[in-house]
Structure 1
Amino acid sequence: MSPRTLPRCSARWAGLVLLLLTTELCVGYRENARTCPPRCTCAGELLDCSRMKKGQTPETIPEWTVQLDLSHNKLQVLRAALFSNLPHLKEIKLNNNDLERIPDFGACALNITTLVLANNRISRIWPDQLQPLLALETLDLSSNNMVDIRADSFPLLPLRNLILNSNRISALEPGCFVNLSSTLQVLRLNRNRLSTIPAKIFQLPNLQHLELSRNRIRKVEGLTFQGLHALRSLKMQRNAINRLMDGALWGLSNMEVLHLDYNNLTEVSKGWLYGLDHLQHLHLAHNAIVRIRPHAWEFCQNLRQLDLASTHLARLEEASFSGLSLLDQLHLGNNRISFIADGAFRGLSHLQTLDLQNNEISWTIEDMNGPFSALDRLRKL
């Protein structure tokens, strides 16, 4: 080959190589293209087939699907074949359908980590329905027809989040959560029909957040929450609680937030506050509290926020807040306070916000000698 023809041949070879590479890339693209089934939408790893016609599902689900939304389809049953080849599926939303049982997801059940079944017609949890879900971490069964949680409801699962809000649950059988004890971190039982909490029912040493609001609980016995060593927040608003027995909250030494607002409590005493060494936020608004017992705060001196608004308090005695030297916020608005003893706020050296609005304190403030003189860090009154 002469030197004159070498550049032309090199150019031809380069063009041929570029053509082969382009062809290979195009074939590869076609092979890996993510097709979206009719009447569904696709975004990244999500296949959204919600709000299709009544009882309909796509003919097939693409193999690449990681997140699947089949909500709002009025589904009564699911074809097992629909999940026959979904090795990447991890999250399924089946809320707002007409399912009466937890579906069978076939082989792909092994990889599912999140299952949302809220707003269906499920009346009971059967262990064989959950047994195949060996990777399940979040289960939402809110707004179904369950009336109890039985001792055999849950097999051994790695559940971290269990949501059972807005059912008709009136009974928790002993041992009903025992198979979830090593992993469960969040348990929500709001808007049910629980009137009592069996002692030591929550043997969940890793649970961090427990919600029992809007039930029918009237009395909490001592040691009710024993076994919740890691609990950080407890919500029991809007029950009918009128008695917290001594030691009712014992065992919650790591709890930081306690919501007891909108109940019928009549007093604050150290008996039911016993053991709350790390409590920082205590919400007691909208109760019928008429007195704060002497030394009430002896066992929870790490409080940062105390809400006693809209209760029936009429007097603040000299030792009403004794021991709360770390308190930042104190809410006493919308009460009947007409008497504040000299030194009632003494010791609140860190207090920055004091709310006394809508009380009857005009005369007592005039008669006091520097009622707020001890509040060196107060910013808002």
Structure 2
Amino acid sequence: MKSGCVLVIFLACLCHGSLSCPAVCQCYSQKMEVVCNDIPLTEYPFESLPENTTMLTIQFTNITSISKKHLDATPLLQELHLSNNHLENLSSHLLRGVPHLNTLDLTGNKLSDLPADVFSHAPIRNLVLKNNLIKQADAEWLPDNSSLTWLDLSENHLTKIPTTLLQRLPNLKIFDLSNNRLEKISANSLDPLTKLERLNLQNNKLNTLDASVFQRINNLTSLFLSQNKLNKLPSNIFEKQTRLTYLSLDDNQLSHIPTGLFDPLKSLEDDGLDLTGNPLLCDGKIEYFWRWLQKNRRKVFSPDNIKCALPQHLAGRSVMSLTGDELNL
């Protein structure tokens, strides 16, 4: 009789813990995963979520806010995906009740001002804030010595990145700042990111970079600088980037390639350097790049489309096609 009672209690707990499911969602008990996609939700369904949920996806709904109380309902949560909702605000100390959370995706919401400590109290490794309305990144969002390895702030309205925020990211490996309004990366500001492997600064408003900006981040393998307004580069800016396999500089305003600029890039893969869409001046100063290009053609994406803008009689010509006589070498 006692064993029968125990069995009934166990089954009741099992049903409550893993098999209960919000009516409009799908639950997968083997993975402890709940998925609520493209449904008419207006509030976070915390009261009907299984307590032992470890993965939760709520996408394409009309939810406008989420609080600590909501997340307290799923204390074992490890991954939370909330992309393409209508979230306008997050509560402070949001993650205090989910001490195992390692992934938080908030892509495509309407977040702008976020409170202090909003991403503290959980060992988050992957944080995605892509495509929101954020104008200012704040160091107070995160704890000191954050465990973040991936931070995506792309497609926001950022004009600068505070050094105080970068100082809290010693474990960061992937940093995406593309499609913002950044005008400057302060000298030495990236120094704390010694483990960084992938940095995306594409489609901003950068017109120059300090020679020291990449000096301390020596583990970079991919660097995206395309679609900015870069008109010149220091000759030694890449001198520490011996592991770089991919570098995009296309669609900038570069007229000259400084002597020695690409010499440290011994690890570039085939098609690993993109320089298309720059208004190169094909005068005597292009000799270094012309000779480097002849030797490293395989490492360059679409080398025949790297063309002269000036002088007029060479405009539209591929740099590859030029002769020494034409360059007055």
Interval of TM-score (by shorter of Structure 1 and Structure 2): 0.7 to 0.9
Look up the match of 1:199.
163
Q: TM-score, normalised by structure 1?
A: 0.68
CA distance in 2, matches of 1:71, 1:41: 7
Unaligned ranges ≥5, structure 1? 1-29, 46-63, 340-357, 369-381
* CA distance in 1: counterparts of 2:274 and 2:117, whole angstroms: 40
Q: Does 1:307 align with 2:274?
A: yes
Corresponding residue of 2:322: 364
Summarize the Cα distance change of 1:200–1:258 in structure 2 as closer, same or farther, 3 Å threshold.
farther
Alignment of 1:190 onto 2:159: no
Q: Is contact 2:72-2:98 (8 Å) kept?
A: no
Query: Does residue 181 of structure 2 align to residue 216 of structure 1?
Result: yes
| In 2, Cα distance between equivalents of 1:165 and 1:302 | 30
Matches within 5 A, 1:85-164: 86-103=50-67, 104-105=69-70, 108-164=73-129
Q: Tell me which residue corresponds to 1:334.
A: 305
Alignment correspondent of 2:42: 76
Contact 1:199–1:223, Cα closer than 8 Å, also in 2? no
Q: Residues 338, 210 of structure 1: CA spacing in aligned structure 2 closer, same or farther, 3 A cutoff?
A: closer
The CA distance in 1 between the partners of 2:48 and 2:23, in whole Å, is: 16
| TM-score for both structures, normalised by structure 2 | 0.78
Aligned residues of 1:338 and 1:360 also touching (Cα < 8 A): no
Cα deviation, 1:95-145, whole Å, max 9, x if unaligned, reads: 222222225346552211111112223233323322101111110111222
Q: Which has the larger radius of gyration?
A: 1
Q: 1:362 to 1:275 in 2, by over 3 A?
A: closer
- Residue aligning to 1:66: 32
Structure 2 equivalent of residue 376 of structure 1 = none
* CA–CA separation in structure 2 for the residues paired with 1:202 and 1:79: 35
Aligned in 2, Cα 1:282/1:80: closer, same or farther, shift over 3 Å?
A: closer
Q: Which of 314, 317, 327 is the aligned partner of 2:286?
A: 317
Deviations 1:6-35 (A, max 9, x none): xxxxxxxxxxxxxxxxxxxxxxxx999997
Kindly provide the CA deviation profile for residues 44-83 of structure 1, in whole angstroms up to 9, marking residues without a partner as x.
53xxxxxxxxxxxxxxxxxx77111122223222454313
Contact 1:302 1:327 in 2 (8 A): no
**Structure-2 change in CA distance of 1:224 and 1:299 (3 Å):** farther
Correspondence for 1:297 among 245, 262, 275 = 262
Q: Relative to 1, partners in 2 of residues 1:200 and 1:295: Cα closer, same or farther, differing over 3 Å?
A: farther
The total of aligned residue pairs comes to 303
Q: What residue ranges of structure 2 are gaps of 5+ in the alignment? A: 1-10, 311-315
Over the aligned positions, Cα root-mean-square deviation in angstroms equals 3.6
CA contact 1:223–1:248 (8 Å) conserved in 2: yes
> What is the aligned-residue identity percentage?
23
* Secondary structure class of the residue paired with 2:322: helix
* Higher-RCO chain (CA-CA 8 Å, sequence separation at least 6): 2
Structure 1 pair 243–254 and aligned structure 2 pair: CA distance change class (3 A): same
SS at match of 1:282: strand
* SS of aligned partner of 1:178: coil
- After superposition, give the CA deviation of every residue in 1:314-353 in whole Å (9 maximum; x if it has no partner): 32733227889888412344343389xxxxxxxxxxxxxx
Report the CA distance between 1:177 and its aligned residue. 2.9
CA–CA distance in structure 2, aligned partners of residues 99 and 171 of structure 1 = 23
Q: Matched residue of 1:81: which SS?
A: helix
> Which amino acid is 2:274 matched to?
D
